[in-house]
Amino acid sequence: MKRRYFGTDGVRGRFGEEPISPGFATRLGSALVAVLGGRPVIAIGRDTRASGPVLEEALARGITSAGGDVILLGVIPTPGVAAFVVANRLNAGAVISASHNPPDDNGIKFFSGAGFKLPDEDELRIEGMLEETRTPATEPGRVSSNQDAIGQYVAHAIRSLPSGFRLDSLKIAVDCANGAASDATPLALKKLGAEAHVFHASPDGRNINADCGSTVAAEISRLTKETGAQVGLSHDGDADRLLLCDETGDPLDGDEMLAIAGLDLLQRGELPQKTIVATVMSNLGLDEVLEDAGGKVVRSAVGDRYVLEAMRAGGYILGGEQSGHMIFLRHGTTGDGLVSALQILRLMRESGRTLAALRKVLRKYPQAQRDLAVRSKPPLEELADVQSAVHAAESALAPRGRVLVRYSGTEPKVRVLLEGRDAALLSQHADLIAGTLRESIGA
């Protein structure tokens, strides 16, 4: 069966349009309790969108009407919800957020009691129960609030560092995206003694991700240069992603962070099976640098949930995406922008090297990417003209190149990625494939 509502990162869409409505959120909460069984205790956290409190109330109503208890965490990064669930041995967690999407969007995603995103089969079971009519529980659940969830999360993140570790005198520019990290990341850096220059940390419900955050690399680049910071740090709306800038203002992507962290663990002898996990979107240069050091890269489908599945299946502890989702499995159960930042900052301090020096370990292959908005998502394998364009590109880029065309799991877009040695050839074939997609599906 194919999931109808859940994408790679929960249910997501424009608020007020199905499925992101209070009514749907209530049904979703009730269905979650039915799948969990018994009288579960579920934590709910959210980002700073104006629609968050409305969806929070609706989701809590659905959970309690079915007999579940709710603990409201308020505005908190997504990884903070997962950490809270694990630390307090709850049955599940829910996050109301659309991550890096525009302010008018929102979404709902769930974590299991172990702190991991629910597997596909559980999301399918929830979807199967959405249309069922259920009698309300004879004893409705209760709603309570936790006022120290941010403090608990910051303490959890700092525990990922060696005891006594400090960031004294390190000058850091911080872009909080007017999102869920607006309190947490500045607090963590302050506790560690860093000189943090904090920007976009005044959420008003409408400015989350607005010309700021990890999807707007130019902003953290500007802030890093203007403040003379030694490093720039930027989150997305729910702070499960990280974008770093070196001291020159040049942004690093997730592949560079994976290379830095992976080589460090490999050299320490702390990388199980000498392997890290990346997605099919990651640069081929990542494979080469790990292989040259005696390690390897395992590839997963796009989405941090699939990175994590591959990590757990293989017994690996480090994985991530080009987008800046990084999973340090020894320190958490999901992508965590703050923990990831602290781990890279630790490497800077311990090595005595700048970020510009550390990033040189990765020699990237040229890439050409095209993102096109779509009105529908017909199976790509059934589009003969598109497949012909893809095969032509694959032949032209052989033997050391690749072509990837896929639909986004979180947005109405089709994404095209070509990678190889010849940048001009990549661009030519990327444009040809994009043009064919426009003709075939109106992209």
Q: Do domains 6-147 and 254-336 have the same CATH topology?
A: yes
Q: How far apart are CA 32 and CA 53, in angstroms?
A: 19
Checking if the pLDDT of 315 tops 90, the result is: yes
What is the C-alpha to C-alpha distance for residues 185 and 193, in angstroms, rounded to an integer?
13
> Which of the 8 DSSP states describes residue 99?
T
SS3 track for 261-315: HHHHHHHHCCCHHHEEEEECCCCHHHHHHHHHCCCEEEEECCCHHHHHHHHHHHC
Q: What's the mean per-residue pLDDT of the chain? A: 95
CATH homologous superfamily of 6-147 = Alpha-D-Glucose-1,6-Bisphosphate, subunit A, domain 3 (3.40.120.10)
Query: Could you give phi then psi for residue 263, rounded to 5 degrees?
Result: -65, -35
User: Domain 157-251: what homologous superfamily?
Assistant: Alpha-D-Glucose-1,6-Bisphosphate, subunit A, domain 3 (3.40.120.10)
Beta carbons within 10 angstroms of residue 387's beta carbon: 15
Q: Where are the domains of the chain?
A: 6-147, 157-251, 254-336, 367-441
What is the average per-residue pLDDT within 356-365?
Answer: 96
**N-term to C-term CA, the chain:** 27
Q: Which residues are the active-site residues? A: 99
Instruction: Report whether the peptide linkage leading into residue 19 is cis, meaning its omega lies within 30 degrees of zero.
Output: yes
Q: What's the confidence (pLDDT) of residue 443?
A: 64
Structure tokens at 336: 């965590």
Q: Is the dihedral of CA 143, 147, 148, 150 positive or negative?
A: positive
CATH number for 367-441: choose from 3.40.50.720, 3.30.310.50, 3.40.50.2300, 3.40.50.1580.
3.30.310.50
Task: Identify the CATH number of the domain defined by range 254-336.
Answer: 3.40.120.10
**Residue at 157: amino acid letter:** A
Q: Cβ distance 438 to 375 under 8 Å?
A: no
Q: Region 130-141: what's the mean pLDDT?
A: 87
Bridge partner residues of 427 (DSSP): none
Q: Which residues pair with 68 in a beta bridge?
A: none
What lies within 8 Å, CB to CB, of 399 at 6+ separation is none
pLDDT in tens, 71-85: 999 999 999 999 999
pLDDT over 90 at 394, yes or no? yes
List Cα–Cα distances, 281 to 165, 295, 368, 410, in angstroms. Answer: 34, 19, 11, 15
Question: For 137, how many CA atoms within 13 A lie in the half-sphere containing its CB?
Answer: 21
Instruction: Spell out the long-range contacts of 61-64 with Cβ–Cβ below 8 A and sequence spacing 24 or more.
Output: 61/26, 61/29, 62/25, 62/26, 62/27, 62/28, 62/29, 62/30, 62/31, 62/32, 62/33, 63/29, 63/30, 63/32, 63/33, 63/141, 64/140, 64/141, 64/142, 64/143
* pTM for this model (two decimals): 0.90
Query: Which one, of 191, 215, 192, lies nearest residue 200 by Cα?
Result: 215
* CA atoms in the 13 A half-sphere facing the CB of 335: 29
Q: Categorize the per-residue pLDDT at 247 as very low, low, confident or very high, splitting at 50, 70 and 90.
A: very high
Q: Report the pLDDT value the prediction gives residue 318, as an integer from 0 to 100.
A: 98
Residue 411 has pLDDT above 90, yes or no: no
Provide the pLDDT confidence category of residue 442 given band limits of 50, 70 and 90.
confident
Q: What is the mean pLDDT of residues 117-127?
A: 93
| Sign of torsion over alpha carbons 14, 19, 21, 26 | negative
**CA–CA separation, 260 vs 412, rounded Å?**
33
User: 3-state DSSP: the chain helix, strand, coil percent, rounded to 5?
Assistant: 40, 20, 40
pLDDT band at 265 (very low <50, low <70, confident <90, very high): very high
CA 232/CA 246 separation, integer angstroms = 6
Report the pLDDT value the prediction gives residue 3, as an integer from 0 to 100.
80
Res 1: pLDDT: 62
- What does the alpha-carbon distance between residue 184 and residue 392 come to, in Å, rounded to a whole number? 49
Angle formed at CA 272 by CA 268 and CA 274, multiple of 5 degrees: 75
Q: At what angle do helices 337-351 and 181-191 cross, to 10 degrees?
A: 30
What is the share, in percent, of the chain residues with pLDDT greater than 70? 100
Mean local confidence (pLDDT), 272-294: 95
Q: Across 137-249, where does the E strand assignment appear?
A: 143-145, 171-175, 195-199, 231-234, 243-245
The stretch 150-167 carries a mean pLDDT of: 98
d(CA 12, CA 218): 26
